[in-house]
Chains A and B, each alone.
Chain A
Amino acid sequence: MKKLMYLLLVATLLSGLVAIGTACGPTPTPGPTATPKVVEKIVVITPTPAPKRVTLIITGPSSGETGYKVLQKQLERFTKENPNIEVKIQEMPWSSTLQHDMFATWSAGQLPTPDILRLDIVWPAEFAAAGWVISLDDYIKKAGIDMKDFLEGPLSGCTYQGKVVCLPYFTDAGLLYYRKDLLEKHGFKPPETFADLKEQALAITKKEGIKNGFVWQGDAYEGGTCDLMEYLWGNGADVLDDKGNVVIDNPKAVEALSVMVDYIKSGVSPAGVTTYKEEDARNVFQRGDAVFMRNWPYAWAAMNAPDSPVKGKVGAKPMVHGPGQKSAATLGGWNLAVNKFSQNPDEAFKLVAFLTSAEIQKGTALGAGLSPTRKSLYKDADVLAANPFWKDFFDIMIGAKPRPVHPRYPEISSVLFTEAHKALTGEQDAATAIKNMAKKITDIVKK
């Protein structure tokens, strides 16, 4: 009997392990609600005598980030203008991968909150295909929002099968930062091609005794995909074509990945770059330990802060590219969508329109340093006075390209950064990596 009890105990402990699988699964909901396929939302506006009081929840930055206070102020103003709507911020972790997984779990469970989801530029296709966010077309028409003022890149990222499913909130694009002072001192012009960068990095590190030539995001995560895409595009290759065919199996792609591998092998980049994310690269560059860095616009403000060792010594330009090719920047940024299961979609859209309006975006740009998604703001005198470099960034922002648009994007991205990382660490050569990517992504797209 004792033995039996013991076995039972062990079995109980064991089965608890498997529970992770189901504990977070979608809760079975009664009725036919388990078919979230339709993206449209039929809106019947009946004349209501008095606006109902509602509380909205929006996902936002954590209270430690600068953007939090700015958003809080904007929401206070929104409530003043719409006294019947109160808004609460749900703080989210910094990592976009973690945010994705939280959103996906909530949406798969058909949670009505948060009402407004802040989506990374690569998610709208997935969320729209899954039926987790509503189409905003009717709302946009009714509210008369000037869609032409939005940058094309972010807007196309928000469009799935011809329907707008979110509005661009702020944008991002990959940049090449360089040490102006060092390049001038050694008589170099900012590099244009992959080879230029290698030559300059090797020459300057050797003469100046600086530890690293070029730092970037080589870790196996979403940022790794962003970096990889810039090499692919900058060398005339791509992952998917306009029709969604897999086109990565291409000598140009192998060449592009080989450039990244060569940067590590030849000492242009430290071997440890295979563990770097944005902040790791910025830490190294900001301490003056690197000549070049690939990063997002956010890094500019930190590098030019009063206590920064490289203050005033940094320039930014579009990413380097292959011979005879053009530079490419990966499009980043965040967008606001309305949760399909929200009980207050009308009010939620009102808030989305408010936060993405030119006036509010201007406040976000000035207060939190986030790049606006409205073209008009790149000509705004106040914005340019606070961020003079944005005038130069405009072309990069306009030209930034979206990562492969697909409902199964997380799987595609995982293949890209995992296989690329294996090439960067020398586990496989670039040609094998590209072959594997092609094969695996073809399988994913076929599903």
Chain B
Amino acid sequence: MRFLTTIHKRGLSQIQLAALLMLPALIVIFLITFYPLAQTFLFSLEDYNAKFATARKFVGPANYIKLFLDPDFRAALRQTLFFTVVSVSAEFVLGLLVALVIHRTFPGRGLVRAAVLVPWAIPTVISARMWEWMYNDQFGVINDILVKLHLISAPVPWLGQPATAMWAVIVTDVWKTTPFMALLLLAGLQIIPEELYEAAKIDGAGTWQRFRRVTLPLLRPAILVALIFRTLDAFRVFDVVFVLTRGASGTRTLVVMNQEVFFSFLEFGYGSAISVLVFVFVALFSFLYMRGLGLRLETA
């Protein structure tokens, strides 16, 4: 304390003092986030395979040019965008429904709330493995039920054909992360004051109008946070795909591709270029969300 008073006496302004106090935190943030980011960017400008480390050399933007000419990268980007848009939309709609239901008071609500969270609590690798078995063509429960109901005549290898594999992955992801979406939205619902609904009721607003005019606008900050979180996660999807298909049958997303380039091929330069592009895309998404939802950040 004496230290602070002395430096205060020496004429440090409030702002300078604040900056000084924040410095340690900023250094940590710099070391764990900005340093790796910069390092990845520098790697991305090199022809650098960890197997042939001596042949490492600076190549400028060559990796990025190669990336845009690489049909595998374009396919991965397409598949990632498809996965992101479909899974996040489905999770949002379902998550909102779940949140609205468990926000209401009804007997056994605590139990239902806990039950809803179960899929989210299971580690992805385990739940994905479980779904993999459910999708199995020989002894999978999904085929068994559908065949018994005569909805399909023969078992379908859900994960083994391009027509269904991505959908199977999306279903697994939606099952797993809808609870997370619901949880974030539920938190948003709980801070909306009850009086607003009462007032709207008195003014003669129906259920839909109350939802449209009261719930949705006030839920916006929560929606924004939930969508940003989910979009970023979905765009970087790895674990669920890695377990279910390892990228086969048209499910190779950017990060699945990146993992292979990095850790199987040890192409650190090319892999870093993919990482940087994933970062750019993700930053772009966040920006568009903030713009698109017209949200003033102060209200968040």
Contact = CB atoms under 8 A, between A and B. Distances in A.
Interface of A: 2-3, 6-7, 10-26, 34-37, 97, 100-101, 104-105, 108, 126, 129-130, 211-212, 218-221, 270-275, 280, 283-284, 289, 407-408, 410-411, 414, 418, 421, 425-427
Interface string B263-300: 11110100110011011001100100000000001101
Interface of B: 29, 32-34, 36-37, 39-40, 43, 50-54, 136-139, 155-157, 159-162, 228, 232, 236, 245-250, 260, 262-266, 268, 271-272, 275-276, 278-279, 282-283, 286, 297-298, 300
A126 B276 CA distance: 27
B276 A18 contact: yes
Contacts of B139: 283
Given A19-B36, A25-B39, A272-B138, A130 B51 contact: yes
Contacts of B272: 21-22
B265 A408 contact: yes
A36 B161 CA distance: 43
B160 A19 contact: no
A24 B258 CA distance: 13
Given A425-B162, A425-B249, A18 B37 contact: yes
A34 B37 contact: no
Q: Which of A17, A37, A129, A280 has the most CB of B within 10 A?
A: A17
A264 to B, nearest CB: 10
Contact of A219 (B40, B51, B248): B248
B279 A17 contact: yes
18 contacts: A2-B297, A10-B286, A18-B36, A19-B37, A21-B40, A21-B276, A25-B43, A34-B53, A104-B51, A104-B264, A108-B51, A108-B266, A218-B160, A270-B138, A280-B136, A283-B138, A421-B249, A427-B162
Nearest to A270: B137
Instruction: Tell me the dominant secondary structure on chain A's binding face.
Output: helix
Contacts of A289: 138
A272 B164 CA distance: 12
Given A108-B266, A421-B248, A14 B232 contact: yes
B51 A126 contact: yes
Most buried by A among B33, B34, B250, B286: B33
B137 to A, nearest CB: 3
A431 B163 CA distance: 21
Contacts of A37: 54
A36 B53 contact: yes
A9 B17 CA distance: 22
A275 B39 contact: no
A211 B138 CA distance: 9
B43 A21 contact: yes
Nearest to A221: B246
Given A104-B50, A104-B51, A271 B33 contact: no
Main secondary structure of the interface of B (DSSP, over half): helix
A407 B51 CA distance: 9
A268 B277 CA distance: 44
B264 A410 contact: yes
Contacts of B278: 17-18
A22 B40 contact: yes
A129 B266 CA distance: 13
Contacts of A36: 53-54
A104 B54 contact: no
B34 A15 contact: yes
A101 B264 CA distance: 5
Contacts of B52: 129-130, 407
B157 A97 contact: no
Contacts of A12: 29, 33
A160 B41 CA distance: 35
Given A270-B138, A271-B157, A18 B248 contact: no
Contacts of A101: 263-264
Contacts of B40: 18-19, 21-22
Given A104-B266, A421-B249, A26 B51 contact: no
Contact of B50 (A13, A26, A218): A26
Contact of B268 (A19, A25, A408): A25
Given A6-B297, A220-B247, A411-B265, A15 B36 contact: yes
B161 A23 contact: no
Contacts of B298: 2-3
Contacts of B271: 21
Contacts of B276: 18, 21
B153 to A, nearest CB: 13
Contacts of B247: 220
Contacts of B37: 15, 18-19
A122 to B, nearest CB: 12
Given A211-B138, A274-B160, A414-B260, A129 B297 contact: no
A129 B51 contact: yes
